[in-house]
Chain A
Protein backbone atom coordinates (compact mmCIF):
# COMPACT_ATOMS: atom_id res chain seq x y z
CA UNK A 1 0.00 0.00 0.00
CA UNK A 2 2.90 2.33 0.78
CA UNK A 3 4.33 1.54 -2.63
CA UNK A 4 1.00 2.45 -4.20
CA UNK A 5 1.05 5.79 -2.43
CA UNK A 6 4.62 6.52 -3.51
CA UNK A 7 3.95 5.52 -7.10
CA UNK A 8 0.77 7.58 -7.34
CA UNK A 9 2.60 10.59 -5.91
CA UNK A 10 5.55 10.09 -8.28
CA UNK A 11 3.28 9.79 -11.29
CA UNK A 12 1.33 12.83 -10.14
CA UNK A 13 4.53 14.88 -9.89
CA UNK A 14 5.61 13.73 -13.35
CA UNK A 15 2.24 14.88 -14.61
CA UNK A 16 3.03 18.42 -13.57
CA UNK A 17 5.44 18.46 -16.50
CA UNK A 18 2.75 17.74 -19.10
CA UNK A 19 2.59 20.26 -21.95
CA UNK A 20 0.25 23.00 -20.71
CA UNK A 21 -1.70 23.25 -23.97
CA UNK A 22 -3.57 20.16 -22.85
CA UNK A 23 -5.43 22.06 -20.16
CA UNK A 24 -7.20 24.54 -22.42
CA UNK A 25 -9.20 22.58 -24.92
CA UNK A 26 -9.48 24.13 -28.36
CA UNK A 27 -9.02 27.73 -27.34
CA UNK A 28 -5.29 27.73 -26.51
CA UNK A 29 -4.22 30.02 -29.35
CA UNK A 30 -7.01 32.51 -28.78
CA UNK A 31 -6.15 33.23 -25.18
CA UNK A 32 -3.73 35.93 -24.11
CA UNK A 33 -0.94 34.99 -21.67
CA UNK A 34 -2.75 36.56 -18.73
CA UNK A 35 -5.96 34.68 -19.54
CA UNK A 36 -3.93 31.46 -19.65
CA UNK A 37 -2.51 32.28 -16.25
CA UNK A 38 -6.02 32.79 -14.94
CA UNK A 39 -7.21 29.43 -16.28
CA UNK A 40 -4.22 27.59 -14.82
CA UNK A 41 -4.68 29.42 -11.54
CA UNK A 42 -8.34 28.43 -11.39
CA UNK A 43 -7.36 24.79 -11.85
CA UNK A 44 -4.87 25.16 -9.02
CA UNK A 45 -1.92 24.36 -11.25
CA UNK A 46 0.14 27.37 -10.18
CA UNK A 47 0.09 26.42 -6.50
CA UNK A 48 3.23 24.98 -4.97
CA UNK A 49 3.47 21.23 -5.55
CA UNK A 50 2.71 20.15 -2.00
CA UNK A 51 -0.59 22.05 -2.06
CA UNK A 52 -1.42 20.41 -5.37
CA UNK A 53 -0.77 16.95 -3.96
CA UNK A 54 -2.91 17.69 -0.92
CA UNK A 55 -5.77 18.95 -3.11
CA UNK A 56 -5.36 15.96 -5.39
CA UNK A 57 -5.69 13.43 -2.59
CA UNK A 58 -8.63 15.30 -1.07
CA UNK A 59 -10.43 15.23 -4.40
CA UNK A 60 -9.47 11.59 -4.93
CA UNK A 61 -10.98 10.71 -1.57
CA UNK A 62 -14.25 12.16 -2.78
CA UNK A 63 -13.99 10.12 -5.97
CA UNK A 64 -13.37 13.18 -8.14
CA UNK A 65 -10.80 12.57 -10.91
CA UNK A 66 -11.15 15.96 -12.60
CA UNK A 67 -12.97 17.06 -15.73
CA UNK A 68 -12.10 16.46 -19.34
CA UNK A 69 -11.01 19.45 -21.40
CA UNK A 70 -11.06 18.23 -25.00
CA UNK A 71 -12.27 14.66 -25.30
CA UNK A 72 -15.74 15.46 -23.99
CA UNK A 73 -15.58 18.99 -22.73
CA UNK A 74 -16.55 19.65 -19.11
CA UNK A 75 -17.68 16.09 -18.43
CA UNK A 76 -16.31 14.51 -15.28
CA UNK A 77 -13.54 12.02 -16.05
CA UNK A 78 -15.15 9.41 -13.83
CA UNK A 79 -18.36 9.57 -15.89
CA UNK A 80 -16.41 8.89 -19.07
CA UNK A 81 -14.40 6.03 -17.63
CA UNK A 82 -16.96 4.05 -15.66
CA UNK A 83 -19.00 2.70 -18.60
CA UNK A 84 -15.73 1.56 -20.22
CA UNK A 85 -14.43 -0.47 -17.31
CA UNK A 86 -16.48 -3.65 -18.01
CA UNK A 87 -14.95 -3.98 -21.50
CA UNK A 88 -11.36 -3.67 -20.30
CA UNK A 89 -12.02 -5.94 -17.35
CA UNK A 90 -13.77 -8.54 -19.48
CA UNK A 91 -10.99 -8.67 -22.03
CA UNK A 92 -8.31 -8.66 -19.35
CA UNK A 93 -9.86 -11.62 -17.53
CA UNK A 94 -10.51 -13.52 -20.77
CA UNK A 95 -6.94 -13.00 -21.90
CA UNK A 96 -5.46 -14.03 -18.56
CA UNK A 97 -7.57 -17.19 -18.50
CA UNK A 98 -6.69 -18.12 -22.08
CA UNK A 99 -3.00 -17.48 -21.56
CA UNK A 100 -2.97 -19.48 -18.33
CA UNK A 101 -4.61 -22.58 -19.81
CA UNK A 102 -3.08 -22.30 -23.26
CA UNK A 103 0.38 -21.60 -21.87
CA UNK A 104 0.34 -24.46 -19.39
CA UNK A 105 -0.96 -26.91 -21.96
CA UNK A 106 1.70 -25.81 -24.41
CA UNK A 107 4.43 -26.02 -21.80
CA UNK A 108 3.46 -29.54 -20.78
CA UNK A 109 3.28 -30.57 -24.41
CA UNK A 110 6.75 -29.13 -25.05
CA UNK A 111 8.25 -30.89 -22.06
CA UNK A 112 6.78 -34.22 -23.11
CA UNK A 113 8.19 -33.94 -26.62
CA UNK A 114 11.46 -32.38 -25.51
CA UNK A 115 13.89 -32.08 -28.41
CA UNK A 116 11.39 -33.39 -30.97
CA UNK A 117 9.48 -31.64 -33.70
CA UNK A 118 6.63 -30.23 -31.55
CA UNK A 119 9.09 -28.74 -29.11
CA UNK A 120 10.78 -26.92 -31.97
CA UNK A 121 7.48 -25.68 -33.40
CA UNK A 122 6.37 -24.17 -30.10
CA UNK A 123 9.84 -22.75 -29.47
CA UNK A 124 9.53 -21.04 -32.83
CA UNK A 125 6.22 -19.57 -31.71
CA UNK A 126 7.76 -18.30 -28.49
CA UNK A 127 10.69 -16.73 -30.34
CA UNK A 128 8.39 -14.95 -32.75
CA UNK A 129 6.10 -13.61 -30.04
CA UNK A 130 9.05 -12.40 -27.98
CA UNK A 131 11.18 -11.01 -30.75
CA UNK A 132 8.79 -9.49 -33.27
CA UNK A 133 7.30 -6.26 -31.94
CA UNK A 134 3.83 -6.55 -30.46
CA UNK A 135 2.64 -3.70 -32.63
CA UNK A 136 3.58 -5.61 -35.78
CA UNK A 137 2.27 -9.12 -35.29
CA UNK A 138 -0.99 -7.94 -33.77
CA UNK A 139 -1.54 -5.80 -36.83
CA UNK A 140 -1.07 -8.82 -39.07
CA UNK A 141 -3.40 -10.93 -36.95
CA UNK A 142 -6.05 -8.28 -37.32
CA UNK A 143 -5.46 -7.90 -41.03
CA UNK A 144 -5.21 -11.54 -42.10
CA UNK A 145 -6.93 -13.24 -39.17
CA UNK A 146 -10.16 -11.42 -39.82
CA UNK A 147 -10.24 -12.26 -43.51
CA UNK A 148 -9.04 -15.85 -43.10
CA UNK A 149 -11.52 -16.75 -40.35
CA UNK A 150 -14.26 -14.42 -41.62
CA UNK A 151 -14.38 -12.56 -38.36
CA UNK A 152 -15.25 -8.87 -38.07
CA UNK A 153 -12.19 -6.62 -38.28
CA UNK A 154 -13.45 -4.17 -35.66
CA UNK A 155 -15.09 -4.77 -32.31
CA UNK A 156 -18.86 -4.62 -32.22
CA UNK A 157 -20.56 -5.13 -28.89
CA UNK A 158 -23.63 -6.74 -30.46
CA UNK A 159 -21.60 -9.44 -32.22
CA UNK A 160 -20.05 -11.91 -29.81
CA UNK A 161 -17.72 -13.36 -32.47
CA UNK A 162 -15.89 -10.04 -32.62
CA UNK A 163 -14.53 -10.82 -29.15
CA UNK A 164 -12.46 -13.72 -30.41
CA UNK A 165 -9.58 -11.99 -32.19
CA UNK A 166 -8.88 -9.28 -29.61
CA UNK A 167 -9.01 -11.73 -26.69
CA UNK A 168 -6.71 -14.15 -28.49
CA UNK A 169 -4.28 -11.40 -29.46
CA UNK A 170 -4.16 -10.17 -25.91
CA UNK A 171 -3.22 -13.59 -24.59
CA UNK A 172 -0.44 -14.45 -27.07
CA UNK A 173 2.34 -12.92 -24.97
CA UNK A 174 1.06 -14.57 -21.81
CA UNK A 175 0.85 -17.97 -23.50
CA UNK A 176 4.48 -17.72 -24.56
CA UNK A 177 5.60 -16.70 -21.08
CA UNK A 178 3.70 -19.46 -19.29
CA UNK A 179 4.72 -22.09 -21.84
CA UNK A 180 8.44 -21.35 -21.54
CA UNK A 181 8.26 -21.29 -17.80
CA UNK A 182 6.22 -24.51 -17.60
CA UNK A 183 8.56 -26.34 -19.95
CA UNK A 184 11.62 -25.44 -17.95
CA UNK A 185 9.89 -26.28 -14.69
CA UNK A 186 8.73 -29.69 -15.93
CA UNK A 187 12.13 -30.62 -17.33
CA UNK A 188 13.84 -29.71 -14.05
CA UNK A 189 11.18 -31.33 -11.93
CA UNK A 190 10.95 -34.66 -13.75
CA UNK A 191 14.53 -35.49 -12.79
CA UNK A 192 13.90 -35.05 -9.08
CA UNK A 193 13.89 -37.92 -6.64
CA UNK A 194 10.26 -37.75 -5.57
CA UNK A 195 9.11 -38.11 -9.16
CA UNK A 196 11.44 -41.06 -9.67
CA UNK A 197 10.02 -42.64 -6.53
CA UNK A 198 6.46 -42.06 -7.73
CA UNK A 199 7.34 -43.68 -11.03
CA UNK A 200 9.12 -46.56 -9.32
CA UNK A 201 6.10 -47.37 -7.21
CA UNK A 202 4.08 -47.65 -10.39
CA UNK A 203 1.98 -44.52 -10.59
CA UNK A 204 0.79 -43.81 -14.13
CA UNK A 205 2.46 -40.72 -15.58
CA UNK A 206 -0.85 -38.85 -15.80
CA UNK A 207 -1.33 -39.15 -12.06
CA UNK A 208 2.25 -38.08 -11.46
CA UNK A 209 1.63 -34.99 -13.56
CA UNK A 210 -1.61 -34.00 -11.89
CA UNK A 211 -0.87 -34.94 -8.29
CA UNK A 212 2.81 -34.18 -7.99
CA UNK A 213 4.25 -31.93 -10.67
CA UNK A 214 1.33 -29.60 -11.29
CA UNK A 215 0.58 -29.11 -7.64
CA UNK A 216 4.08 -27.96 -6.93
CA UNK A 217 3.97 -25.73 -9.97
CA UNK A 218 1.14 -23.57 -8.60
CA UNK A 219 3.31 -21.55 -6.26
CA UNK A 220 5.81 -20.09 -8.72
CA UNK A 221 2.95 -19.77 -11.19
CA UNK A 222 1.11 -17.48 -8.81
CA UNK A 223 4.25 -15.42 -8.73
CA UNK A 224 4.16 -15.12 -12.49
CA UNK A 225 0.52 -14.06 -12.57
CA UNK A 226 1.04 -10.38 -11.72
CA UNK A 227 3.62 -10.04 -14.45
CA UNK A 228 1.14 -11.42 -16.91
CA UNK A 229 -1.46 -8.93 -15.72
CA UNK A 230 1.04 -6.13 -16.31
CA UNK A 231 1.65 -7.49 -19.78
CA UNK A 232 -2.05 -7.55 -20.51
CA UNK A 233 -2.18 -3.86 -19.64
CA UNK A 234 0.45 -3.06 -22.24
CA UNK A 235 -1.28 -5.22 -24.82
CA UNK A 236 -4.71 -3.89 -24.04
CA UNK A 237 -3.69 -0.30 -24.69
CA UNK A 238 -2.65 -1.24 -28.19
CA UNK A 239 -5.30 -3.85 -28.94
CA UNK A 240 -8.26 -1.82 -27.71
CA UNK A 241 -7.23 1.02 -29.92
CA UNK A 242 -6.59 -1.31 -32.87
CA UNK A 243 -10.00 -2.98 -32.73
CA UNK A 244 -11.71 0.19 -31.47
CA UNK A 245 -12.96 -1.49 -28.33
CA UNK A 246 -14.62 1.11 -26.11
CA UNK A 247 -12.37 0.28 -23.13
CA UNK A 248 -9.87 2.26 -21.12
CA UNK A 249 -6.71 1.36 -23.01
CA UNK A 250 -8.01 2.64 -26.31
CA UNK A 251 -9.21 5.75 -24.48
CA UNK A 252 -5.68 6.43 -23.21
CA UNK A 253 -4.28 6.40 -26.75
CA UNK A 254 -7.11 8.66 -27.86
CA UNK A 255 -6.67 11.29 -25.19
CA UNK A 256 -2.90 11.34 -25.63
CA UNK A 257 -3.34 12.03 -29.32
CA UNK A 258 -5.80 14.80 -28.54
CA UNK A 259 -3.76 16.17 -25.63
CA UNK A 260 -6.39 16.12 -22.92
CA UNK A 261 -4.30 16.36 -19.77
CA UNK A 262 -6.85 15.66 -17.02
CA UNK A 263 -7.92 12.50 -18.85
CA UNK A 264 -4.32 11.36 -19.39
CA UNK A 265 -3.60 11.91 -15.73
CA UNK A 266 -6.62 9.97 -14.50
CA UNK A 267 -6.01 7.03 -16.84
CA UNK A 268 -2.29 6.79 -16.13
CA UNK A 269 -3.00 6.77 -12.41
CA UNK A 270 -5.60 4.05 -12.84
CA UNK A 271 -3.31 1.88 -14.95
CA UNK A 272 -0.37 2.19 -12.58
CA UNK A 273 -2.60 1.37 -9.62
CA UNK A 274 -3.92 -1.71 -11.40
CA UNK A 275 -0.34 -2.82 -11.99
CA UNK A 276 0.64 -2.47 -8.35
CA UNK A 277 -2.51 -4.11 -7.06
CA UNK A 278 -1.81 -6.98 -9.45
CA UNK A 279 1.68 -7.45 -7.99
CA UNK A 280 0.27 -7.31 -4.49
CA UNK A 281 -2.37 -9.92 -5.29
CA UNK A 282 0.34 -12.11 -6.75
CA UNK A 283 2.23 -12.06 -3.45
CA UNK A 284 -0.97 -12.83 -1.60
CA UNK A 285 -1.82 -15.77 -3.85
CA UNK A 286 1.67 -17.15 -3.43
CA UNK A 287 1.35 -17.10 0.35
CA UNK A 288 -2.03 -18.77 0.01
CA UNK A 289 -0.69 -21.66 -2.04
CA UNK A 290 2.49 -22.22 -0.11
CA UNK A 291 2.22 -22.23 3.67
CA UNK A 292 5.99 -21.86 3.98
CA UNK A 293 5.91 -18.31 2.62
CA UNK A 294 4.90 -15.70 5.15
CA UNK A 295 4.23 -12.09 4.34
CA UNK A 296 4.22 -10.97 7.96
CA UNK A 297 7.53 -11.07 9.76
CA UNK A 298 7.57 -13.51 12.62
CA UNK A 299 9.88 -13.92 15.58
CA UNK A 300 13.36 -15.15 14.73
CA UNK A 301 13.23 -14.15 11.08
CA UNK A 302 16.25 -12.69 9.46
Chain B
Protein backbone atom coordinates (compact mmCIF):
# COMPACT_ATOMS: atom_id res chain seq x y z
CA UNK B 1 0.00 0.00 0.00
CA UNK B 2 1.28 3.41 -0.78
CA UNK B 3 1.94 5.69 2.12
CA UNK B 4 -0.11 8.76 1.79
CA UNK B 5 0.96 12.05 3.28
CA UNK B 6 -2.21 13.39 4.81
CA UNK B 7 -0.66 15.88 7.24
CA UNK B 8 -1.05 19.51 6.52
CA UNK B 9 2.46 20.79 5.69
CA UNK B 10 1.64 24.24 7.01
CA UNK B 11 1.65 22.81 10.59
CA UNK B 12 5.36 21.96 10.40
CA UNK B 13 8.42 24.10 10.17
CA UNK B 14 12.19 23.51 10.37
CA UNK B 15 13.72 24.14 13.78
CA UNK B 16 16.79 26.34 14.00
CA UNK B 17 19.79 24.59 15.52
CA UNK B 18 20.45 26.42 18.79
CA UNK B 19 24.03 25.82 19.87
CA UNK B 20 23.50 27.25 23.39
CA UNK B 21 20.53 24.99 24.14
CA UNK B 22 22.63 22.03 23.09
CA UNK B 23 25.30 23.01 25.55
CA UNK B 24 22.79 23.44 28.35
CA UNK B 25 21.55 19.89 28.28
CA UNK B 26 25.00 18.37 28.53
CA UNK B 27 25.93 20.51 31.51
CA UNK B 28 24.71 20.32 35.09
CA UNK B 29 25.12 23.31 37.29
CA UNK B 30 25.91 21.14 40.31
CA UNK B 31 28.68 22.69 42.33
CA UNK B 32 30.11 20.67 45.20
CA UNK B 33 30.88 23.54 47.52
CA UNK B 34 27.64 25.41 46.79
CA UNK B 35 25.60 22.30 47.58
CA UNK B 36 27.60 21.76 50.74
CA UNK B 37 26.85 25.30 51.81
CA UNK B 38 23.17 24.94 50.97
CA UNK B 39 22.77 21.73 53.02
CA UNK B 40 24.75 23.28 55.86
CA UNK B 41 22.60 26.41 55.97
CA UNK B 42 19.46 24.30 56.22
CA UNK B 43 20.52 23.13 59.68
CA UNK B 44 19.26 25.86 61.98
CA UNK B 45 21.15 24.73 65.09
CA UNK B 46 24.39 24.49 63.18
CA UNK B 47 24.02 28.02 61.84
CA UNK B 48 23.21 29.24 65.33
CA UNK B 49 26.34 27.65 66.73
CA UNK B 50 28.37 29.02 63.84
CA UNK B 51 27.22 32.54 64.65
CA UNK B 52 27.87 32.01 68.36
CA UNK B 53 31.34 30.65 67.74
CA UNK B 54 32.19 33.41 65.27
CA UNK B 55 31.18 36.10 67.76
CA UNK B 56 33.11 34.40 70.53
CA UNK B 57 36.22 33.94 68.43
CA UNK B 58 36.24 37.51 67.17
CA UNK B 59 35.66 38.80 70.67
CA UNK B 60 38.43 36.64 72.11
CA UNK B 61 40.97 38.19 69.81
CA UNK B 62 39.58 41.71 69.90
CA UNK B 63 39.11 41.87 73.67
CA UNK B 64 42.63 43.04 74.66
CA UNK B 65 42.34 45.92 72.16
CA UNK B 66 39.15 47.26 73.73
CA UNK B 67 39.46 50.25 76.08
CA UNK B 68 39.46 49.72 79.84
CA UNK B 69 40.69 46.11 79.85
CA UNK B 70 43.05 44.94 82.56
CA UNK B 71 46.07 42.75 82.03
CA UNK B 72 45.23 39.12 82.80
CA UNK B 73 48.28 38.66 84.99
CA UNK B 74 48.22 42.01 86.82
CA UNK B 75 47.43 41.80 90.53
CA UNK B 76 44.90 44.54 91.23
CA UNK B 77 45.45 46.54 94.40
CA UNK B 78 42.86 48.66 96.17
CA UNK B 79 44.22 52.24 96.07
CA UNK B 80 42.48 53.12 99.37
CA UNK B 81 43.75 50.35 101.61
CA UNK B 82 46.76 49.14 99.62
CA UNK B 83 45.40 45.58 99.85
CA UNK B 84 44.86 43.22 96.92
CA UNK B 85 41.31 42.77 95.60
CA UNK B 86 41.04 39.18 96.83
CA UNK B 87 38.11 36.99 95.76
CA UNK B 88 35.87 39.92 94.82
CA UNK B 89 32.48 38.71 93.63
CA UNK B 90 31.35 39.91 90.19
CA UNK B 91 30.64 43.64 90.20
CA UNK B 92 30.65 46.67 87.90
CA UNK B 93 34.38 47.05 88.43
CA UNK B 94 35.32 43.39 87.94
CA UNK B 95 32.72 41.87 85.67
CA UNK B 96 33.55 38.29 86.50
CA UNK B 97 35.11 39.05 89.90
CA UNK B 98 38.70 38.46 90.87
CA UNK B 99 40.62 35.36 91.92
CA UNK B 100 42.40 34.58 95.17
CA UNK B 101 45.36 36.86 94.47
CA UNK B 102 43.39 39.73 92.95
CA UNK B 103 43.67 39.10 89.23
CA UNK B 104 40.78 40.13 87.02
CA UNK B 105 38.84 37.00 86.04
CA UNK B 106 37.21 38.61 82.99
CA UNK B 107 40.46 39.27 81.18
CA UNK B 108 41.95 36.02 82.43
CA UNK B 109 39.14 34.05 80.86
CA UNK B 110 39.58 35.65 77.45
CA UNK B 111 43.32 35.34 77.60
CA UNK B 112 42.90 31.71 78.64
CA UNK B 113 40.52 31.07 75.76
CA UNK B 114 43.13 32.52 73.40
CA UNK B 115 45.82 30.20 74.75
CA UNK B 116 43.61 27.13 74.61
CA UNK B 117 42.33 27.92 71.12
CA UNK B 118 45.86 28.50 69.91
CA UNK B 119 46.90 25.09 71.24
CA UNK B 120 43.80 23.58 69.67
CA UNK B 121 44.43 25.13 66.27
CA UNK B 122 48.12 24.23 66.14
CA UNK B 123 47.41 20.68 67.24
CA UNK B 124 44.51 20.36 64.81
CA UNK B 125 46.68 21.52 61.92
CA UNK B 126 49.60 19.23 62.76
CA UNK B 127 47.23 16.28 63.26
CA UNK B 128 45.72 16.96 59.86
CA UNK B 129 49.10 16.99 58.13
CA UNK B 130 50.50 13.94 59.90
CA UNK B 131 47.25 12.00 59.74
CA UNK B 132 46.78 12.54 56.02
CA UNK B 133 50.39 11.81 55.16
CA UNK B 134 50.54 8.66 57.29
CA UNK B 135 47.12 7.45 56.22
CA UNK B 136 47.80 8.03 52.52
CA UNK B 137 51.13 6.20 52.56
CA UNK B 138 49.68 3.42 54.69
CA UNK B 139 46.74 2.89 52.40
CA UNK B 140 48.35 3.39 49.03
CA UNK B 141 51.89 2.05 49.23
CA UNK B 142 51.57 -1.69 49.69
CA UNK B 143 55.20 -2.26 50.62
CA UNK B 144 54.85 -0.02 53.67
CA UNK B 145 51.63 -1.64 54.86
CA UNK B 146 53.14 -4.14 57.32
CA UNK B 147 55.54 -1.72 58.97
CA UNK B 148 53.05 1.08 59.29
CA UNK B 149 50.33 -1.24 60.60
CA UNK B 150 52.62 -2.56 63.33
CA UNK B 151 53.71 0.92 64.32
CA UNK B 152 50.12 2.13 64.40
CA UNK B 153 49.00 -0.81 66.51
CA UNK B 154 51.68 -0.23 69.09
CA UNK B 155 50.75 3.42 69.50
CA UNK B 156 47.03 2.83 69.31
CA UNK B 157 47.00 0.06 71.90
CA UNK B 158 48.37 2.18 74.71
CA UNK B 159 45.55 4.24 76.24
CA UNK B 160 45.80 7.87 75.09
CA UNK B 161 45.62 9.04 78.68
CA UNK B 162 48.75 7.10 79.55
CA UNK B 163 50.74 8.32 76.53
CA UNK B 164 49.78 11.92 77.21
CA UNK B 165 50.62 11.71 80.89
CA UNK B 166 53.90 10.03 80.19
CA UNK B 167 55.00 12.55 77.56
CA UNK B 168 53.97 15.50 79.67
CA UNK B 169 55.78 14.02 82.68
CA UNK B 170 58.97 13.36 80.76
CA UNK B 171 59.17 16.75 79.08
CA UNK B 172 58.29 19.14 81.92
CA UNK B 173 55.28 21.47 81.75
CA UNK B 174 55.42 24.11 79.00
CA UNK B 175 53.48 25.26 75.97
CA UNK B 176 55.67 23.20 73.63
CA UNK B 177 55.33 20.05 75.72
CA UNK B 178 51.59 20.39 75.66
CA UNK B 179 51.41 20.83 71.90
CA UNK B 180 53.88 18.02 71.26
CA UNK B 181 52.14 15.55 73.55
CA UNK B 182 48.74 16.15 71.97
CA UNK B 183 50.10 16.00 68.43
CA UNK B 184 51.79 12.72 69.26
CA UNK B 185 48.52 10.99 70.05
CA UNK B 186 45.89 12.90 68.10
CA UNK B 187 46.68 11.92 64.53
CA UNK B 188 45.93 8.23 65.02
CA UNK B 189 42.20 8.38 64.39
CA UNK B 190 42.50 10.43 61.22
CA UNK B 191 45.30 8.25 59.87
CA UNK B 192 43.25 5.10 60.29
CA UNK B 193 40.22 6.64 58.64
CA UNK B 194 42.16 7.99 55.68
CA UNK B 195 43.86 4.63 55.28
CA UNK B 196 40.62 2.65 55.27
CA UNK B 197 38.99 4.95 52.75
CA UNK B 198 42.00 4.86 50.46
CA UNK B 199 42.13 1.08 50.57
CA UNK B 200 38.49 1.07 49.49
CA UNK B 201 38.86 3.43 46.54
CA UNK B 202 42.43 2.91 45.40
CA UNK B 203 41.62 0.09 42.98
CA UNK B 204 38.56 1.58 41.34
CA UNK B 205 38.65 1.80 37.55
CA UNK B 206 39.48 5.45 37.32
CA UNK B 207 42.55 4.97 39.49
CA UNK B 208 43.54 1.92 37.53
CA UNK B 209 43.23 4.00 34.36
CA UNK B 210 45.34 6.74 35.90
CA UNK B 211 48.00 4.27 36.87
CA UNK B 212 48.05 2.74 33.40
CA UNK B 213 48.58 6.17 31.96
CA UNK B 214 51.66 6.46 34.10
CA UNK B 215 50.44 8.98 36.66
CA UNK B 216 52.89 9.11 39.58
CA UNK B 217 51.57 7.84 42.96
CA UNK B 218 51.91 11.27 44.47
CA UNK B 219 49.56 12.76 41.92
CA UNK B 220 47.05 9.92 42.23
CA UNK B 221 46.94 10.40 45.99
CA UNK B 222 46.58 14.16 45.85
CA UNK B 223 44.25 14.49 42.87
CA UNK B 224 42.27 11.26 42.80
CA UNK B 225 42.04 10.04 46.37
CA UNK B 226 42.20 12.89 48.84
CA UNK B 227 39.32 14.97 47.39
CA UNK B 228 37.05 12.08 48.41
CA UNK B 229 38.06 12.50 52.02
CA UNK B 230 37.44 16.20 52.52
CA UNK B 231 34.43 15.59 54.76
CA UNK B 232 36.19 13.14 57.04
CA UNK B 233 39.24 15.33 57.32
CA UNK B 234 37.11 18.36 58.17
CA UNK B 235 35.18 16.44 60.80
CA UNK B 236 38.27 15.05 62.49
CA UNK B 237 40.03 18.40 62.53
CA UNK B 238 37.02 20.19 63.95
CA UNK B 239 36.57 17.50 66.59
CA UNK B 240 40.20 17.57 67.57
CA UNK B 241 39.85 21.12 68.88
CA UNK B 242 37.38 20.34 71.70
CA UNK B 243 39.35 17.17 72.32
CA UNK B 244 42.56 19.10 72.74
CA UNK B 245 40.96 21.58 75.12
CA UNK B 246 39.58 18.66 77.12
CA UNK B 247 42.98 17.00 77.42
CA UNK B 248 44.50 20.29 78.45
CA UNK B 249 42.06 20.54 81.36
CA UNK B 250 42.76 16.94 82.29
CA UNK B 251 46.55 17.32 82.20
CA UNK B 252 46.33 20.49 84.25
CA UNK B 253 44.34 18.65 86.89
CA UNK B 254 47.02 15.99 87.16
CA UNK B 255 49.61 18.71 87.57
CA UNK B 256 51.17 18.31 84.14
CA UNK B 257 49.52 21.25 82.41
CA UNK B 258 50.83 24.64 81.42
CA UNK B 259 52.80 26.63 83.99
CA UNK B 260 50.41 28.57 86.27
CA UNK B 261 51.59 31.97 85.05
CA UNK B 262 50.07 31.36 81.60
CA UNK B 263 46.30 31.72 81.85
CA UNK B 264 44.57 28.90 79.98
CA UNK B 265 41.15 27.36 80.33
CA UNK B 266 42.71 24.35 82.00
CA UNK B 267 44.51 26.47 84.55
CA UNK B 268 41.40 28.55 85.24
CA UNK B 269 39.17 25.52 85.77
CA UNK B 270 41.78 24.04 88.03
CA UNK B 271 42.07 27.23 90.10
CA UNK B 272 38.30 27.26 90.37
CA UNK B 273 38.26 23.61 91.43
CA UNK B 274 40.57 24.25 94.35
CA UNK B 275 38.17 26.69 95.96
CA UNK B 276 34.89 25.12 94.83
CA UNK B 277 34.00 23.98 98.32
CA UNK B 278 32.95 27.47 99.38
CA UNK B 279 29.71 28.22 97.50
CA UNK B 280 30.17 31.99 97.34
CA UNK B 281 33.43 31.56 95.41
CA UNK B 282 32.04 29.11 92.88
CA UNK B 283 31.76 31.83 90.24
CA UNK B 284 35.51 31.33 89.73
CA UNK B 285 34.78 27.82 88.53
CA UNK B 286 31.52 28.48 86.74
CA UNK B 287 32.51 31.37 84.44
CA UNK B 288 35.50 29.58 82.87
CA UNK B 289 33.45 26.40 82.44
CA UNK B 290 30.67 28.24 80.64
CA UNK B 291 33.04 29.79 78.12
CA UNK B 292 34.86 26.50 77.73
CA UNK B 293 31.65 24.56 77.15
CA UNK B 294 30.40 27.02 74.56
CA UNK B 295 33.64 26.73 72.61
CA UNK B 296 33.85 22.95 72.72
CA UNK B 297 30.16 22.28 72.04
CA UNK B 298 30.15 24.72 69.11
CA UNK B 299 33.15 23.07 67.50
CA UNK B 300 31.63 19.65 68.02
CA UNK B 301 28.22 20.50 66.56
CA UNK B 302 29.76 22.43 63.67
CA UNK B 303 32.18 19.65 62.84
CA UNK B 304 29.39 17.13 62.66
CA UNK B 305 27.06 19.39 60.69
CA UNK B 306 29.78 20.26 58.23
CA UNK B 307 30.77 16.67 57.71
CA UNK B 308 27.12 15.77 57.03
CA UNK B 309 26.81 18.67 54.60
CA UNK B 310 30.00 17.87 52.74
CA UNK B 311 28.92 14.29 52.10
CA UNK B 312 27.68 14.32 48.47
CA UNK B 313 25.08 11.66 49.31
CA UNK B 314 23.22 14.30 51.33
CA UNK B 315 23.15 16.78 48.47
CA UNK B 316 20.13 15.49 46.58
Contacts and interface: CB of A to CB of B under 8 A. Distances in A.
Nearest to B158: A272
Contacts of A207: none
A268 B300 contact: no
A127 interface: yes
- The size class of the interface chain A forms with chain B is 35 or more
B15 interface: no
A275 interface: yes
Contacts of A264: 169
A95 to B, nearest CB: 15
Contacts of A233: 159, 161-162
Given A132-B296, A136-B289, A238 B154 contact: no
B254 interface: yes
A253 interface: yes
Given A3-B154, A7-B154, A264-B169, A130 B300 contact: yes
A233 B164 CA distance: 13
A-side binding surface: helix, strand, loop or mixed? helix
Interface in A65-122: none
Nearest to B167: A14
Interface string B278-299: 0000100100010011001101
A32 to B, nearest CB: 24
B250 A135 contact: yes
Nearest to A265: B166
A11 B300 contact: no
B218 interface: no
Interface string B143-185: 0000000100110011111100110011010000000000000
A256 B161 contact: no
A134 B108 CA distance: 22
Nearest to A15: B166
Nearest to A133: B246
A10 B169 CA distance: 16
B-side binding surface: helix, strand, loop or mixed? helix
A276 B154 CA distance: 9
B161 A135 contact: no
A268 B166 contact: yes
A127 B153 contact: no
A245 interface: no
A257 interface: yes
B269 interface: yes
B300 A7 contact: no
B42 to A, nearest CB: 15
B162 A271 contact: yes
B255 interface: yes
Contacts of A127: 297, 300-301
A279 B250 contact: no
A256 B255 contact: yes
Contact of A230 (B159, B166, B246, B285): B159
B159 A140 contact: no
Contacts of B255: 253, 256-257
B256 interface: yes
Interface string A219-262: 00000000000100110011001000000000011001100000
B74 interface: no
Nearest to B243: A133
A234 B253 CA distance: 13
Interface in B229-280: 242, 245-247, 249-250, 253-256, 269, 273, 276
A135 B250 CA distance: 6
B157 A7 contact: yes
A275 B154 contact: no
A106 to B, nearest CB: 18
A18 B169 contact: yes
A19 B254 contact: no
A198 interface: no
A200 interface: no
Contacts of A133: 242, 245-247, 249-250, 292, 296
A237 to B, nearest CB: 6
B301 A131 contact: yes
A11 B246 contact: no
Contacts of A19: 169-170, 172
A15 B293 CA distance: 35
Contacts of B157: 3, 7, 272, 275-276, 279
Contacts of B154: 3, 6-7, 10
Contact of A18 (B170, B247, B293): B170
A256 B169 contact: yes
A135 B245 CA distance: 10
13 contacts: A6-B154, A7-B158, A11-B162, A11-B166, A131-B242, A133-B292, A135-B246, A135-B250, A139-B273, A256-B254, A268-B166, A272-B157, A275-B157
Given A257-B255, A268-B166, 12 more contacts: A15-B166, A17-B170, A19-B169, A127-B300, A132-B293, A233-B159, A237-B165, A237-B254, A241-B253, A256-B255, A275-B159, A275-B162
Sorted nearest first, the 10 A-B pairs with minimum C-beta distance are A133-B246, A131-B300, A234-B161, A135-B249, A131-B297, A272-B158, A257-B255, A135-B250, A133-B249, A131-B296
